[in-house]
Chains A and B, each alone.
Chain A
């Protein structure tokens, strides 16, 4: 086995040889390797955020006809490091009446809840943290911790605006979890397994082709779950000052910031793993490094779309946000689930025909729901009273 064939396994095997050579027991060596992997993976993910912030600011800048960061370093690449140093040396301010433990636990959970997801994602045919047989349920469970962090931040800061932000985030997360879980059932049905690597291996035809409705629902709901624009009602600065994180400063605020960017990237990673075929591609089985490259390319394509969303769509009002999930996405997910279940089983013997039929039916369902249900979902607003000025001009004779 050469280094370029599979670098991670190569280094791991080399290190295991070194440890065994020092006279360590095989279980001890395995434990050290697992602990090292568990320490390195989140570290790399968090360092990667520095690059993501630059990438996103640059792209948003181009969308808004600006340059984005371009002063510090080549193409402004060093700018996030400058921002990071600045945020490190800022003062921590804890408001009077803040609940100490929830207030300080929330920033940690907001990053930790996202990093948990990275443990089960297969980055190539061989590189993955754990091959959990319940990987998909694990990902949904990790999402619940994210909701908890918003809630703890909103409650712990002893601030009404933060609390309203917390309420909104929970209402949004719990509502969008319903269509998300139902949409994830469809790939599971076609695969017959909950393990993430099995789901990737089952995608000889990527699930975005066979299950376009599920892919669309998963994409929209996961953007909502990450609290990104247009679903960023949690931190609607025009209404709530800054929302749930209004009382945070310094690195505690920075953790929320890191958590948000990392979450946005993680949903792109998840979408490309579950619906775009993950590490699959020509030659990926024999050269795992190539599979990693495919996954990175796919993920950045999806992340690009997420940033385009953020740069171009206005924020939803809270009733529109609720209408979208309960009146469009949830019925679509349920109907699509039943139809897919009924069609997939009899055609399981002929994969090509099954794929074509599922694509046609799901695409029709998607279009029907987004054109018909989308229009009917938002009730027509009627004028209930005459417009009344708040202050009427009052003329007084000042000349006398």
Chain B
């Protein structure tokens, strides 16, 4: 086992442990902080895979914006700041079933995918992979259509947010 593999396993263990703590933590605020650690762990995993763009983007988008918005929402809801020992409600068997089913399905799908077991292709030297990513996202033979559909979805979400938040009676 090389040093990099040990580091990768350590990062994976920390990420998984903090992901468990997100749902096991008593206070909502602590859960949000554990979530940040889990997201940073994913970023570190990207970094060990030499996907520096994804690693940095993970921190910028998820830690820098989304996690902070979650904390913001958690801070604004007053009741969740108090210690509340009951973390399960009546519906937990159904939730367990749904989550377990989803996990089993994902594991089944990944076990059938050939890319899962084949060794990764070596990256080209230098900063070429960002340019390749940019081209893949904008070239018609690449992922142009999914990219544009995703941006359309975001525009729809933004218009929806403005509609919900705005005072339209004026």
Interface residue ranges, A against B (CB under 8 Å): 99, 101-102, 132-134, 137-138, 140-141, 143-145, 147-148, 151-152, 155, 163, 166-167, 170, 174, 177, 193-195
Using Cβ atoms and an 8 Å threshold, which residues of chain B touch A133?
52-53, 126-127, 130
How many A-B contacts if CB must be within 8 Å? 68
With contacts A102-B33, A155-B75 known, is A174 near B68, CB below 8 A?
A: yes
Q: Which residues of A contact B65 (CB under 8 A)?
A: 144, 174, 177
Identify which of B54-62, B98-106, B139-147, B151-159 touches chain A: B54-62
Cβ–Cβ < 8 Å partners of B63 in chain A:
141, 144-145, 148
Q: Which of A101, A132, A144, A155 contacts B59 (CB 8 A)?
A: A144
Set A102, A137, A151: member contacting B68, Cβ < 8 A: A151
Interface size class of B (residues with CB under 8 A): 20 to 34
Contact B56 A147 (CB under 8 A): no
Q: A144-B59, A170-B71 are in contact. List 19 more A-B contacts (CB 8 A).
A: A99-B30, A102-B33, A133-B52, A133-B53, A133-B126, A133-B127, A133-B130, A137-B56, A137-B60, A138-B56, A141-B59, A141-B63, A144-B64, A148-B36, A151-B72, A155-B71, A155-B75, A166-B75, A193-B127
B42-98 at interface with A (beta carbon < 8 Å): 52-53, 56-57, 59-60, 63-65, 67-69, 71-72, 75
Residue from the list A147, A152, A167, A193 in contact with B64, Cβ < 8 A: A147
Residues of A near B36 (CB, < 8 A) are 148
By CB atoms of chain B within 10 A, which of A133, A145, A152, A177 has the most? A133
B29 CB-CB contact with A under 8 Å: yes
CB pair B68–A170 under 8 Å, yes or no, is yes
Most chain B CB within a 10 A radius of its CB, from A132, A134, A170: A134
Please state if B29 and A134 are interface contacts (CB–CB under 8 Å): no
List 5 A-B pairs, Cβ < 8 Å.
A137-B57, A141-B60, A151-B71, A170-B68, A195-B127
> Does B60 contact A170, Cβ atoms closer than 8 Å?
no
Query: For A170, what are the chain B residues with a Cβ–Cβ distance below 8 Å?
Result: 68, 71-72
| Interface positions of B from 16 to 58, Cβ below 8 Å from A | 29-30, 33, 36, 52-53, 56-57
* Chain A residue at minimum C-beta to C-beta distance from B53: A134
Are A147's CB and B72's CB within 8 A?
no
